[in-house]
């Protein structure tokens, strides 16, 4: 099922606190569809995953660090959740820059769970309809997101770029499918 041959996806995370399934399941699903996937972290190197934000799980090695990466080299950006991961990413200037570049270039951005926090700090949620982990909903509404919805996946193509969001690891099958479908259209 190599429907995404030639498509390039950038997954960005911090170096710790990443929700394991929200990183690894989309990575594997996109690779199975034929996409070239690059995992980049703030510092590069090892990244610690967690299960349900509390238990350390496996470490994965990222291919590169965020500094120096450009949206011009990718078709889509994926932001996994995990509260520590998302809180760290939203404060990182390179992560914010990349989100803004993807949005300004009209590219696909996908975020799950607490990942939309980075979208808020990058200033790109205004006018969008999206979903997230429920505790992030008020932050999104305060950041002038057009509408927060409680559904497994929301695809919004307002403001010249496509945003795909989901709530939790339970939504990963729908999230992965939506990303694949969006990438087939570019």
Q: Model confidence over 68-117: pLDDT tens digits?
A: 999 999 999 999 999 999 999 999 999 999 999 999 999 999 999 999 99
Does residue 97 form part of some domain?
yes
CATH number of the CATH domain containing 173: 3.40.50.880
This prediction has a pTM of 0.96
Q: What is the DSSP secondary structure assignment for residue 19, as one 8-state letter?
A: E
**Is position 1 within any domain?**
no
Q: Which H or E run contains 173?
A: helix 172-184
| Residue 121 within any structural domain of the chain | yes
Q: What is the arithmetic mean of pLDDT over 17-28?
A: 97
- Residue 12, CA distances (Å) to 99, 120, 142, 146 in order: 10, 16, 24, 25
Domain boundaries, position 28: 8-184
Catalytic residue numbers read 113-114
Structure tokens at 62: 């990222």
Q: Please indicate, yes or no, if residue 168 is contained in any of the structural domains.
A: yes
3-state class (DSSP) for residue 12: strand
Comparing C-alpha atoms, which of 1, 3, 2 is closest to residue 185? 3
- pLDDT tens-place string over residues 7-19: 999 999 999 999 9
């Amino acid at each position: 099922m190599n429907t995404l041959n030639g498509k390039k996806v950038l997954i960005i995370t911090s170096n710790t606190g990443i929700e394991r399934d929200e990183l690894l399941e989309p990575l594997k699903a996109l690779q199975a569809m034929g996409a070239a996937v690059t995992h980049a972290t703030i510092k590069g190197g090892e990244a610690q995953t967690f299960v349900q934000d509390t238990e350390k799980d496996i470490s994965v090695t990222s291919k590169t660090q965020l500094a120096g990466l450009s949206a011009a080299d990718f078709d889509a950006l994926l932001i996994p959740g995990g509260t520590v991961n998302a809180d760290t990413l939203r404060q990182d200037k390179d992560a914010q820059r990349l989100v803004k570049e993807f949005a300004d270039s009209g590219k696909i951005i996908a975020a799950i769970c607490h990942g939309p926090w980075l979208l808020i700090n990058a200033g790109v949620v205004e006018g969008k309809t999206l979903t997230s982990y429920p505790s992030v909903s008020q932050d999104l509404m305060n950041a002038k997101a057009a509408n927060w919805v409680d559904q497994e996946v929301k695809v919004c193509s307002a403001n010249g770029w496509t945003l795909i969001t989901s709530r939790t690891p339970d939504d990963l099958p729908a999230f992965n499918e939506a990303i694949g479908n969006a990438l087939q259209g570019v």
